[in-house]
Structure formats: structure tokens, C-alpha cells
Amino acid sequence: KGEGIQHIALGTSDIYDSVDIIRERGIPFQDTPDTYYEMLPERIKGHDESIPELEKRRILMDGAPTECQGLLLQIFTQNVIGPIF
């Protein structure tokens, strides 16, 4: 038996609504410490995202808000189904 599927990425035009809908359907997401959001303004500057909205949903942000690089907004589920293979 292998280690199974570790990661599946999905794209969305509105991560905020998508997270709300998926959570309403019972999919549990991993939690993120409050300190992550407290430190976010210093870590990633010059973005247009609402930190309170990110924190409310526990969405993570990575990247650099420049013309050459973009931001990555992401969230991870808790272990939902275990190894598949």
C-alpha cells in the first residue's frame, strides 16, 4: 500500500465564497494560529486582501504582490478520507 494522494489543488475565482460553501457542506479545514494573521501585514506588504476576512476563514496567503509575482491564497482540509491507494 502506498502513501496515497497527499495533495489536490483546485482553482476558484472567489476563494472566500468557495471556503464558505465548502465549510457549510461539512468539510473540515485545518486551523491557523491567530499569530499568523497578526504577522501577515509585516510578512506580505502592498496587497489588497482583507486580513480580517482571511482570518475569519483561516485562509493562508503567500507570495509577493508585484507585477512579476502573484499572491497565493490557500486553505487546507483536515484529513477527510485517509490514504486512497
3-state percent helix, strand, coil for the chain, nearest multiple of 5: 30, 10, 55
pTM of the model: 0.82
Q: Over the stretch 40-72, which tens digit does the pLDDT of each residue have?
A: 999 998 888 999 999 999 999 998 766 666 789
Q: Over the stretch 9-20, which tens digit does the pLDDT of each residue have?
A: 889 999 999 999
List the chain domain ranges: 15-74
pLDDT of residue 70: 79
pLDDT of residue 24: 98
69-83 average pLDDT score: 81
pLDDT of residue 79: 79
Q: Would you say 51 and 41 are in contact if contact means Cβ atoms under 8 Å apart? A: yes
